[in-house]
Structure 1
Amino acid sequence: MILALCMSFLPAAMQAAPLVNRLANHPSPYLAMHGADPVAWQEWSPATVSLARQQNKLLFVSIGYFSCHWCHVMQQESYRDLRIAEVLNRDFIPVKVDRELNTALDAEMIEFARRSRGMAGWPLNVFITPEGYPVYATLYSKPDQFLGLISKLSERWLTDRDELKAAAREAAGGGKPVGSIPLKPASDHAAVWRQRLVDDALAMADPLRGGLEQARKFPMAPQLTALLQIHERHPDARLAAWLTLTLDLMAKGGLRDHVGGGFFRYTVDPEWHTPHYEKMLYDNAELALLYLRAARILGKPQYQEIAFETLDFMLAEMRDAETGAFITSTSAVDSEGREGGVYLWSMEQLRHTLSPDELALATRIWGLEAAAESDLGYLPQQVREPTAAELAQLEPVYRKLRKERRNRSLPKDDKLLAGLNGLALKALSEAAATAPRYRRSADEVKDFLARQLWRKDGLQNGMGHGKLFGPADLEGYAYAASGLRYYARLSGKAADHAFADKLAREAWRRFHSPRGFRLAGTTLLAAEKRQAVIADGPAPSPSTELITASLASHDKALRRNGVAALGFTVSPAGHDLFMHASLVAAMDAAASP
């Protein structure tokens, strides 16, 4: 009240102009959907940070993405609440961030949340000082709880801002680089780390249900791919059994869409039964490649069909018709806001769509005699193992449901991102070597990267509705360079190898120094960090992707960069090898004959 009273006596020219929401019609669907919120959302930019400094206010940075279910829930409950909007607009500089367009900022804030709260996820809401130091992080909150939090932080900022700023600076550690000590060449410790990775993975493995012993099951494509690569060079019966079990249960359970193809983001239970219904381009591109390789390495030809089915889903549901590139994700909720609404079937709908014999077969295989877990009905999946004859009989069942499902509407995030299309190009290129029908799609993605996103000033992050999103970060360059390397092997053209080399050289120049990698040109945070190696996430480590793309080049300078980077390490890699599985596999490949 005192502050408001003092402000009322200031000349109008000295009072800060009211903030307005700047997200309407943004080319990012996630940001655009917040364009009508009463919160005066700003974009994350130098101008916004400068505004926070001018007004000496905390930045409230809310990070999410379009297919995140709880991001939508928090929007409906909190960001459209006029009481909450009033506090955010008056006492903070509210910023909305699409994590897929600001991967470096997102990674820094995820790490801050884990370090300060012991957990992370989305929606991720972080309060940052005007100088660029994070103070406090919180995830999804109920409206009253969230209102109480921002009110208390507002009061604390008025009374103890210097103390909060000092604490935030100290917690950031002054932006010291992480891990910049060169160790022995990778070949000297590759065998030790490889065995430790395998031992660690099997110690954490769920021996009955595949994956890891966790309450929720994620596909972990980078780790499984790395371990499969290691098993190919150094066969291990225990590892092969666990990989096979995991791949089998992911394909049979609710993680996979048995009607339309493709994989969901994760399951909320340890049985691979009940998914969170968003589908991500990175998951599906990686899993298509994983199953394609596993078919050969593990001797399971049925995995190849799963890989092709996944690519066919991407082409049918995620391909942009104008460019031939792939969109980012499909939503967990349907156009009516119902979670899983596109994928679930009531018994009445099944009776209407299927013949009595087909329904009887589906009931046995899908376990429909039990009560549906959702009010919307059942998710088709292999609760019981079908015979070969029953699998063939299920095909017309799936065709009928696919036809009926075309009447359902599914929101999509139609951003076309450089990095994620690089992952798709990698999978398409390897598939095209076996199935030439994927060659044309690979050609189109390569052309999109080369003609639409490559500019004189470098690679662009992507585009939405014809508008470019600005310079690509390390992830964009690394994934695109890796995908282009695979495409060049397919095409056999020197020009394609040269383009992959060009992207790799630019990535090393922009994002690497003797102190390590940085994820972007700048995050606008005060403590910009470099890392000697970047961990795997849902997608593979961008530093490892750049290293492997460089080692596969005929350019001597690129190969030297890759070899030198493999000779660096950081303590987290030694203590948590599972999250650095791609790096260990790259070291093993470099050390192997």
Structure 2
Amino acid sequence: MSSSSSATAAAMPQLTNVLAKSKSPYLLQHKDNPVAWQEFTSETISLAKQLDRPIFLSSGYSACHWCHVLAHESFEDPEVAKIMNEYFVNVKVDREERPDVDRVYMSYLQASSGGGGWPMSIFMTPSLEPFFAGTYFPKNRFISLLVRIQESWEDDREKCEEMGKGVIESLKEMSGGSRVPGTLDQILSTSPALKIHTQLTRLHDPRYGGFAQGGSHSKGPKFPSCSMTLEPLARLATIPLSAEATESGGDQEVREKSREMAIKMIRGIWEGGMRDWVGGGVARYSVDEKWIVPHFEKMLYDQAQLVSCALDFAQICDPTQAQDENDRGKLEADRKVCYDLAADILDYSLRDLRSPEGGFWSAEDADSAPEPGAKKSEGAFYIWDKEEIDEILGEDSKVFNYFFGVKRDGNVDPVHDAHGEMTGKNILYQAKSYIDTAKKFSKAEDEAKRIVKASCEKLKERRDKREKPGLDDKILTAWNGLMLSALAKAAMTLPTTYPVAEQCLAAAEGVADFLKTRVWDEASSTLIRSWREGKGPTGQTDDYAFLIRGLLDLYEATGDERHALWAVELQKRQDDLFWDEQGGGYFASAPDEHVLVRMKDAQDAAEPSAISVSVHNLSRFSLLISNEYDQYEKKAEETYLSIGEELKQMPRAFGYSVAGLMDLEKGYREVIIIGSKSDPTTKQFLALAREKYTPNQIVIQIDPADPPLQLAEKNEVIKSLIEGLSSKDTQTQTQRVSLRVCEGGVCGLPSEDVEGVKALLGLA
């Protein structure tokens, strides 16, 4: 080597692992790796260009089991790290904090391989153009891949760069989009809702419940997928019956089948191993078709969405609509399992995921050490030896083991245990019914239930002494918006026979207060995406959309106009930052020179898309802020039209947007209640307004002693009703409580008695 080249080499920066400076729990998990990890920053990208090396980008999240496997096998291995450090600039991305970065490269991975997932492994040029993608690679394959990529870069760099540029151009074309010429009626004429029903019917597993590619022959995995399944099914289960329905049975069949499929899935989750029988809450998904073997990570977004959807179906399973006693008994049982699931998840979330400041943490990990000093493994916190159960429960273990299918050699099918980590262990799931268990041991059914419940409590005492799974203690604005909706809905509809119901409204207010004080930047009127030891990255579209929905739900739960007014402010800011003037709809993130494709978040997945939540918000605003009805209605329509072709061709991937179309087709209505919030009649009218599943409804409260004056400036109906209150009535609160319904821009006459209110609400 010449002296000049030696000097050049000496001038090149020596990379070290910088993740110890991060606040992301996922990045901090890799701070001690021998890999010289960098964060996704402009400095890192400049460094890659200076070193003239390709970038290896690894994206994942802290609770991801296979992310841990890849890290243990490869990123913690000095041999692998040496190759990575010598030939690449290695970048770690927390996909929950930077979904804009993750979304671009995940789109490439899905397009190039037909699938995706985390960990995501991307090789790209120093200019951030990807030319190879994958997910998890076993160590030997990963080493071979690193060598091959390096050789390709050295031998045929132009081809790599050309490929990368082509990828980015293709992604730009895919994400460009434009408003579809036409109207919402033309989209509706293609029957996207019935297409979803047809597809879900085909994919439905009638034996175990749930939906997967392959339908009843599927071997898993199965996901809750609320936005793609339960949300549209709830609308389909309550579609208005046409005049012909009584003769043809068509609409009625759709309603009954939709409810049946949804309840089968909810019951599968409730009875399966995906639900944590000992500590509450649900895992991210089940790897098998029976809902028995979960991937054990617990994500906040799953808890929140399942609470909301379970409460919806509790309302839909209305025993008063039963045709006979058998039907009544079935509806009562279905309603109970929905309420039970919602309460179980809320108990867990409020106990284990709520921070002392009021926000909710993101997740609990899948992995933990089975004993002090041992290597972490998936599900170790949750699975049991039969001997341990017998020792804890004594004589009751016989009933317990029979009910849960506990076996001496374990009950986990090796097919679903890739690394043999659960050999000889048991996952708790309902293997037998309570009735069968009671008969087996000559006990009353209630006694069998008591033994199972008491036994789970004893196991929890023992389990709490184990090493807990890792906690992802960052607080994400978007996911807290989802939990805010769940808590507000629970405050309105979960029966007070469940003790957790009494906590929900205060918890919801706590979430809103936390977000307002910690992640809302008053000076710039913008949201921050996450909070952990301070503010994280800037907010994205889903942060705005999900929080707006949560605030609108909280407004309906409280009647406090502050929540609605902040939602209005956030909507205007979302429009300013993310609205696509050319194509309609919302970009997923603000412009960023290092995110080469500004994409849209339109398809629903484990979470609803930002676009699908936004169209619901806009429809609600068009009534609540009626002075700007045209503006909100126009934006909602343009957003639907921006995904018009997708809604026609593959509506299931846009299930929550289709649910919004069903609400629009049914027609929105306002329910306005005038009366003191402390008046028992006001509370009774509110309960009646919330009794039936009506997603196409907003409830407005006017307390004569504390009327929503700022909201009145944005809604002429509210303003006129407030002005119509006499000053004497306002001061003495002698105004009689009334309820009226407004539909199609026309408000009906108010009613002041229960029977009249029931008639107005369609409950009579």
TM exceeding 0.5: yes
Offset of residue 72 of structure 1:
0.9
The equivalent of 2:518 in structure 1 is 452
The equivalent of 2:75 in structure 1 is 79
The equivalent of 1:585 in structure 2 is 659
* Bigger shift: residues 415-424 or 375-384: 375-384
Equivalent residues in 2 for 1:439-518, closer than 5 Å: 439-455=505-521, 456-457=523-524, 458-464=526-532, 466-513=533-580, 514-515=582-583, 516-518=585-587
Would you say 1:368 and 2:402 are equivalent positions? Answer: no
DSSP-derived class of the 1:168 partner = helix
DSSP-derived class of the 2:89 partner = strand
RMSD: 1.9
Please say if residues 218 and 266 of structure 1, whose CA atoms lie closer than 8 Å, have aligned partners that are also in contact: yes
> Given residue 520 of structure 1, which amino acid in structure 2 is its aligned partner?
S
Where do 5+ consecutive residues of structure 2 fail to align?
Answer: 241-251, 319-333, 413-421, 436-444, 494-500, 668-764
The equivalent of 2:384 in structure 1 is 345
Would you say 1:304 and 2:339 are equivalent positions? Answer: yes
Change (3 A) 1:348 1:551: same
Match of 1:110 among 106, 113, 123: 106
The sequence identity of aligned pairs, in percent, is: 26
* Bigger shift: residues 555-564 or 540-549: 555-564
Where do 5+ consecutive residues of structure 1 fail to align?
Answer: none
In 1: Cα distance, 2:142 partner to 2:558 partner: 54
Offset of residue 7 of structure 1:
9.5
In 2: Cα distance, 1:582 partner to 1:427 partner: 16
Change (3 A) 1:6 1:268: farther
Would you say 1:163 and 2:159 are equivalent positions? Answer: yes
Segments of 4+ moved more than 6 angstroms: none
Match of 1:274 among 269, 283, 293: 293
In 2: Cα distance, 1:573 partner to 1:551 partner: 18
Equivalent residues in 2 for 1:152-191, closer than 5 Å: 152-173=148-169, 175-176=172-173, 177-190=175-188
In 2: Cα distance, 1:265 partner to 1:592 partner: 33
In 2: Cα distance, 1:268 partner to 1:196 partner: 27
Match of 2:492 among 406, 411, 433: 433
In 1: Cα distance, 2:59 partner to 2:642 partner: 31
> Given residue 521 of structure 1, which amino acid in structure 2 is its aligned partner?
A
Equivalent residues in 2 for 1:3-402, closer than 5 Å: 5=1, 9-12=5-8, 15-173=11-169, 175-176=172-173, 177-190=175-188, 192-212=191-211, 213=215, 214=218, 215-223=220-228, 224-234=230-240, 236-299=255-318, 300-302=334-336, 303-321=338-356, 323-335=357-369, 336=374, 337-356=376-395, 358-369=396-407, 371-372=409-410, 373=412, 374-375=422-423, 377-387=425-435, 388-389=445-446, 390-402=448-460
Please say if residues 488 and 494 of structure 1, whose CA atoms lie closer than 8 Å, have aligned partners that are also in contact: yes
Higher relative contact order (CA 8 A, sep 6+): 1
Could you tell me the TM-score, scaled by structure 2's length?
A: 0.74
Match of 2:481 among 422, 438, 451: 422
> Given residue 588 of structure 2, which amino acid in structure 1 is its aligned partner?
L
Match of 2:606 among 521, 538, 544: 538
The equivalent of 1:562 in structure 2 is 636
User: Deviation string for 1:237-291 (max 9, x for gaps)?
Assistant: 2222211211111110111111111111111111111111110000011011111
DSSP-derived class of the 2:156 partner = helix
In 2: Cα distance, 1:459 partner to 1:152 partner: 43
In 2: Cα distance, 1:141 partner to 1:341 partner: 23
Could you tell me the TM-score, scaled by structure 1's length?
A: 0.94
User: Deviation string for 1:381-439 (max 9, x for gaps)?
Assistant: 11112135222331111111111111112211111110010000000000011334311
Offset of residue 19 of structure 1:
0.9
Change (3 A) 1:7 1:425: farther
User: Deviation string for 1:357-388 (max 9, x for gaps)?
Assistant: x2111122111247412236212211112135
DSSP-derived class of the 1:467 partner = coil
In 2: Cα distance, 1:473 partner to 1:11 partner: 45
The equivalent of 2:746 in structure 1 is none
Change (3 A) 1:39 1:570: farther
Change (3 A) 1:590 1:562: same
Q: Say which one has the larger Rg.
A: 2
In 2: Cα distance, 1:470 partner to 1:369 partner: 48
In 2: Cα distance, 1:290 partner to 1:562 partner: 23
In 1: Cα distance, 2:409 partner to 2:592 partner: 49
How many pairs align?
585
> Given residue 343 of structure 2, which amino acid in structure 1 is its aligned partner?
F
> Given residue 287 of structure 1, which amino acid in structure 2 is its aligned partner?
L
In 2: Cα distance, 1:161 partner to 1:580 partner: 39
Please say if residues 422 and 482 of structure 1, whose CA atoms lie closer than 8 Å, have aligned partners that are also in contact: yes
Offset of residue 102 of structure 1:
0.9
Please say if residues 100 and 595 of structure 2, whose CA atoms lie closer than 8 Å, have aligned partners that are also in contact: no
Match of 1:521 among 579, 590, 593: 590
Please say if residues 108 and 167 of structure 2, whose CA atoms lie closer than 8 Å, have aligned partners that are also in contact: no
> Given residue 431 of structure 2, which amino acid in structure 1 is its aligned partner?
V
